[in-house]
Amino acid sequence: MHNILDTLAKKTTEHEYYTPVPEGYVRGKTKYVVVFGTVMSGLGKGIFSSCLAKLLQDKGLVCEPIKFDGYLNQDAGTLNPYRHGEVFVLDDGTETDMDLGTYERMQNKNLSADNYLTGGRVFAKVLAKERKGEYLGRDVQIIPHITGEIKGFIRTTAVKKKADVVLIEVGGTVGDFENSYFIEAMRELAYEEGKENVCFVCMTYIMEPATLGEQKSKAAQLGLRGLLASGIQPDIVACRAERKVGDKIREKISLFSNVPVEHVVSVPDMESIYFIPDTLKESALDDLCVSVLCLEKKVDKKDEQQATKEWQDFVQKLRGARKKITIGITGKYTVLRDAYASVMKALEHAAAYNNVQVQIKWIETTDIEKGKLSVEEAMADVVGVIVPGGFGSRGAEGKIQCIRYLRENNIPYLGLCYGFQLALVEFARDVCGMKEANTTENDPKTKFPVIDYLPEQMKIVGLGGNMRLGGYNAELKKGTKVWELYGKKETVRERHRHRYEANPVFLQQLEEKGIIFSGKCGDLIEYLELPPHPFFVGTQSHPEFTSRPLSPNPLYVGFVRAAVDTKRLR
């Protein structure tokens, strides 16, 4: 095939091409795996893609994931959890789709803004270039300029990360108008890179109506035709279903999609997402990708065996745990569990480490505020409670009532971000005598603003501008519980997403009554604890964002261990 990369970066009107090609980019040096979805959303495409990325990484390949989101927001920071689930924060402060959290957990590594692209970011970049006259008088269009910037983003990431494979998840579903330009960009990518350098994977859904009692493939066939109509011939088809997809269905899919039947794999529902890599490996999905991309010579069998063993050890802990404990999670998004996805996963990691299973009890704190549920009823069967992050006053007073009960009854408590802040409010009210204490987020005129904007934050304007985002280092106080949990490290790094801080004006009064501030970031309070309570810890950070299956976060490990001990005492 003619190498058109030599002319792609030209911006004159002599060529129809437009793709910014980064310096040092060599065609064929990086291979690409592109994952699409058909039929319906919510198939677990992000989970599937992250598991595939993990398997390729396990083979010794440098696999860099990228997630495309078609919406015109420039990041996920302003999206309502009810509409889009959790906002996941990367170490560099990028607010992303929750799928990036799955990628980080599966691949056990930090990602950055180079791994996430929204339609809003693409259009903003193109329009900024147009205003600067960088297109040399050309009429700016979806093709080639929008699609060109998308391909340029991918190639830039490939060079920066020195990737053997870039795995791209195209958000949404084939046929969605909002992601059509991303799909077109991937068609162009294969045209420019050569088909031997791009592997297309299509995830589809096999229905099984209860009234029929058998699997049906027609919807999947139509979805695949939509992808074929976009000019993309899949190399692999992954069939999602409630149970294993039968051979006859696989043969039908093969016939209607021009995909060899051995390249049509079954991906049934699993009890845990952490069981999926084994299922994909049994289907030889990773080997199929390697074969399509001719990467056999880069596979390191020794690395693969070691990585497989480590993962199997973790999976065996998950499967082998018999003891069960009930952990309460308070909140106002409890009807949508995806809003707390990272908290749930961090608990799962810590549970495996402690050889137990965690059952979650969701506590809707607005019901406590309205008198529909008493605190005693909410806490009746839990051995530990987490108050996670959040914003706004709705449900806050119910959370404060829960915190007081946990403190007074020596039940393990972990306060995350907002949970840290409300723990200080509760302590100020009920122990320090500041009955009107509050956060100025909920009561701007409170007499005792123990949580407040700091003076330097007042000068920052713009949505999200005054928010502390991303990874920050904290200096830990020796001899404290937090210091011990983190392995007696002097400095630790966790991620943040909040605007309000502990007000330094009240710190001395709080300390005199027994609170220990066990970690600081400069002058900002990062951790609190309350001895001799068995486990009462709060942090301004979101430690769940750094918890991984093979390296669970220390705060969660300690919290689950304390909950197990509490159950024994009961």
Q: Which residues are annotated as catalytic?
A: 417, 542, 544
On whether the CB atoms of residues 137 and 31 are closer than 8 A, the answer is no
Report how far residue 46's alpha carbon sits from residue 8's, in angstroms, rounded to the nearest whole number: 31
Report how far residue 59's alpha carbon sits from residue 311's, in angstroms, rounded to the nearest whole number: 13
Q: CB 540: neighbour CB atoms within 10 A?
A: 30
Report how far residue 31's alpha carbon sits from residue 438's, in angstroms, rounded to the nearest whole number: 54
Amino acid in position 453: Y
On whether the CB atoms of residues 53 and 66 are closer than 8 A, the answer is no
The angle that helices 341-353 and 99-107 make with each other, rounded to 10 degrees, is 20
Strand partners, 357: 324
**Strands 31-37 and 63-69, sheet pairing:** unpaired
Report how far residue 200's alpha carbon sits from residue 179's, in angstroms, rounded to the nearest whole number: 16
- The CA angle 452-457-461, to the nearest 5 degrees, is 120
305 is written with which tokens? Answer: 């065996």
Report how far residue 94's alpha carbon sits from residue 178's, in angstroms, rounded to the nearest whole number: 22
On whether the CB atoms of residues 355 and 321 are closer than 8 A, the answer is yes
Report how far residue 220's alpha carbon sits from residue 210's, in angstroms, rounded to the nearest whole number: 18
For the chain, what is the total number of helices (H) and then of strands (E)?
Answer: 21, 21
Q: Could you tell me where the DSSP H helices lie in 409-530?
A: 418-430, 455-458, 481-485, 507-512
On whether the CB atoms of residues 329 and 318 are closer than 8 A, the answer is no
Closest by Cα among 153, 160, 163 to 185: 153
Report how far residue 200's alpha carbon sits from residue 196's, in angstroms, rounded to the nearest whole number: 11
528 is written with which tokens? Answer: 């609190």
User: Is the backbone peptide bond immediately before 532 cis, with ω within 30 degrees of 0?
Assistant: yes
On whether the CB atoms of residues 479 and 498 are closer than 8 A, the answer is no
Report how far residue 374's alpha carbon sits from residue 381's, in angstroms, rounded to the nearest whole number: 13
Q: What is the 8-class DSSP label of residue 60?
A: T
Tell the burial category of 149 from Cβ atoms under 10 Å away from its Cβ (0-12, 13-18, 19+).
buried
Q: What is the 8-class DSSP label of residue 142?
A: I
Q: Could you tell me where the DSSP H helices lie in 108-146?
A: 119-131
